[in-house]
């Protein structure tokens, strides 16, 4: 799978992986600061952002997607940073391909199984009637029934975009992320 990515800066490569429901765009200000010292490769993981959608989404396959990207970019050994779900992908990559890493930075996650805690998020996202909404404000109103925090709703709604027919769609593959959540 050919992942969507952006490269900023120069120097030692630092690959950055986002968390669940996120995109490389979530790292905006950090990328700007880090690119003063590193060649930052910010990645949209499968079923997120502008990367392709696929039925399978697990840490093993996502780690191999990142390895394929490194190969395509000619990067033999990198620093790798992952946040939350991206941290788990980074840990899986480190287990499978330790020779490809100089340093591993894991943000806000541990190598343990966590209890399910995104049920309300998933219910809320599925509740948004994409065919009927005319604005992000309407989507936010529908989502607020399930998620109280405005910041969390704003983060999730960054995944909304209008297709060529001016119809709202999700950038993320919501159906697969829900199905493969375990």
Residue with tokens 């009927």: 132
pLDDT tens digits, 125-181: 999 999 999 999 999 999 999 999 999 999 999 999 999 999 999 999 999 999 988
Residue 107 burial (CB < 10 Å; 0-12/13-18/19+)? middle
Superfamily of domain 4-107: Alpha/Beta hydrolase fold, catalytic domain (3.40.50.1820)
Asked whether the predicted pLDDT for residue 64 surpasses 90, the reply is yes
Average pLDDT over residues 109-119: 73
- Cβ–Cβ under 8 Å, residues 181 and 118: yes
Res 109: pLDDT: 79
Supply the pTM of this predicted model.
0.91
The pLDDT of residue 112: 67
Inter-residue contact 46 to 65 (CB < 8 Å): yes
Q: Give pLDDT, residue 114.
A: 63
CB 158 within 8 A of CB 28: no
- Euclidean distance between CA atoms 172 and 93, whole angstroms: 22
- CA distance linking residue 56 with residue 106, whole number of Å: 23
Q: 18: burial class by Cβ within 10 Å (0-12, 13-18, 19+)?
A: buried
Confidence check: pLDDT of 76 > 90: yes
- How many residues in total does the chain contain? 182
What is the C-alpha to C-alpha distance for residues 82 and 19, in angstroms, rounded to an integer? 7
pLDDT at position 137, please? 95
Mean model confidence pLDDT for the chain: 94
**pLDDT above 90 as % of the chain:** 91
Residue 115 has pLDDT above 70, yes or no: no
Q: What percent of the chain is modeled with pLDDT above 70?
A: 97
Residue ranges matching CATH 3.40.50.1820 in the chain: 4-107
């Amino acid at each position: 799978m050919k992942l969507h990515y952006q490269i900023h800066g120069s120097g030692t490569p630092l690959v950055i992986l986002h968390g669940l429901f996120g995109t490389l765009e979530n790292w905006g200000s950090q990328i700007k600061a880090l690119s003063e010292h590193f060649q930052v490769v910010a990645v949209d993981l499968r079923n997120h952002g502008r990367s392709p959608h696929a039925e399978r989404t697990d840490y093993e396959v996502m780690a191999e997607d990142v390895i394929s990207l490194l190969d395509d970019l000619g990067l033999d050994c990198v620093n790798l940073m992952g946040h939350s779900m991206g941290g788990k992908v980074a840990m899986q990559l480190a287990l499978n391909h330790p020779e490809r890493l100089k340093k591993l930075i894991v943000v806000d996650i541990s190598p343990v199984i966590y209890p399910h805690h995104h049920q309300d998020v998933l219910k809320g996202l599925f509740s948004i009637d994409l065919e009927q909404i005319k604005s992000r404000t309407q989507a936010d109103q529908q989502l607020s029934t399930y998620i109280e925090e405005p910041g969390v709703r704003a983060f999730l709604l960054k995944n909304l975009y209008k297709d060529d027919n001016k119809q709202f769609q999700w950038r993320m593959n919501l159906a697969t992320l829900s199905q493969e959540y375990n």
